[in-house]
Amino acid sequence: MMKVIFQDKQWKIGVVVLGMLTAFFFVFFASSESMARLVAFRLNLASLALALHPQASFATEMGNHYFNSERGGVYDLQEAKYYYSKSLEFDPQESLAWYQLSRIDFLNGDFPGALEKANRQIELHGDNPQSIYYLRALIYGYWGKYEEAEADFLKFLEWKPNSWAAHNDLAWVYFQQGKYEEAELIARKGLTANPGNAWLLNILGVSLLNQKELPEARKALAAAAEAAAALTPADWQRAYPGNDPKLAAGALSKMRDTIALNISLAVNK
């Protein structure tokens, strides 16, 4: 009887050991990617996760985790930049790393660096993603290279003709050059597809204001103020997905204050 019990225990131990070996094989050989995601996104051990799954696409995914906080990630540009750079160490032609690094340089005000990386993205991947031309237009615009910005905004609008943001930013490029009529026309075109958009109504209002079309300017700015009052910080963050979400409420408040100032200018002229 004792011998039978002992054999039964040996059998049970063997089953446990076999199960452990199977689990070990599954975790470390069959599913390193799944394990890496668990370590990265549940345990917040990003460096360990990348060691478990050292692949360019996974490094880019890690970068996105620190850049696209609206999708459950954590906003940290320094960490995002690190992982996008690691992605390029694994594969210098990884499809989105140059694009994302260009966005980060732009947000940090490094326009030469941003432009270099945007051009590298286009050199390697052409129109993938199409938004690379929108990004490069922003870089040119904030850098004061307005002709180049205009060309890229127009190229982007060929692909996405109803984009309110591209119409708004192209109108801003014209406005910066004192081309108020062109800014007005682009703003109106954007509003055709996006009626009631606060950004477009504001740029339309100030374009009219600078053409001394005061009644129309007041009307557009009043509508802009009403539209902006209905926006939430979440709306702002969706409009600026690369920006720190903690700053959304303050940025929205500043936008409302700017519209109010524009209204006062239109009323007092």
Q: Angle, to 10 degrees, between the axis of helix 164-176 and the axis of helix 180-193?
A: 170
Mean predicted confidence (pLDDT) in 166-194: 98
Whether 173 has a pLDDT exceeding 50, the answer reads yes
Mean predicted confidence (pLDDT) in 100-116: 97
What residues contact residue 107 under an 8 Å CB cut-off, 6+ apart? Answer: 77, 242, 243
CB 109 within 8 A of CB 138: no
Whether 134 has a pLDDT exceeding 50, the answer reads yes
> Residue ranges of the alpha helices (H) in the chain?
2-25, 32-37, 46-52, 56-67, 77-90, 97-107, 111-125, 131-142, 146-159, 164-176, 180-193, 198-210, 214-229, 233-239, 248-268
Give the residue extent of every domain in the chain.
47-65+77-160, 178-269
Tell me, what's the pLDDT at 268? Answer: 82
pLDDT bracket for residue 259 (50, 70, 90): very high
Report the alpha-carbon distance of residue 240 to residue 189 in Å, rounded.
21
**How is domain 47-65+77-160 classified at the CATH fold level?**
1.25.40
More confident residue, 106 or 26: 106
Tell me, what's the pLDDT at 30? Answer: 42
Mean predicted confidence (pLDDT) in 162-170: 98
Report the alpha-carbon distance of residue 73 to residue 41 in Å, rounded.
8
Mean predicted confidence (pLDDT) in 214-237: 97
At position 244, the amino acid (one-letter code) is D
Mean predicted confidence (pLDDT) in 78-101: 94
User: How many CB atoms neighbour CB 126 within 10 A?
Assistant: 10
CATH topology identical between 47-65+77-160 and 178-269: yes
pTM of the model: 0.82
- Average confidence score pLDDT of the chain: 85
pLDDT tens figures, 9-67: 444 444 444 444 444 444 444 446 655 554 455 445 566 566 666 678 888 988 888 89
Tell me, what's the pLDDT at 229? Answer: 98
Tell me, what's the pLDDT at 61? Answer: 85
Whether 97 has a pLDDT exceeding 70, the answer reads yes
Query: What CATH number does the domain located at 178-269 have?
Result: 1.25.40
Whether 71 has a pLDDT exceeding 70, the answer reads no
CB 166 within 8 A of CB 151: no
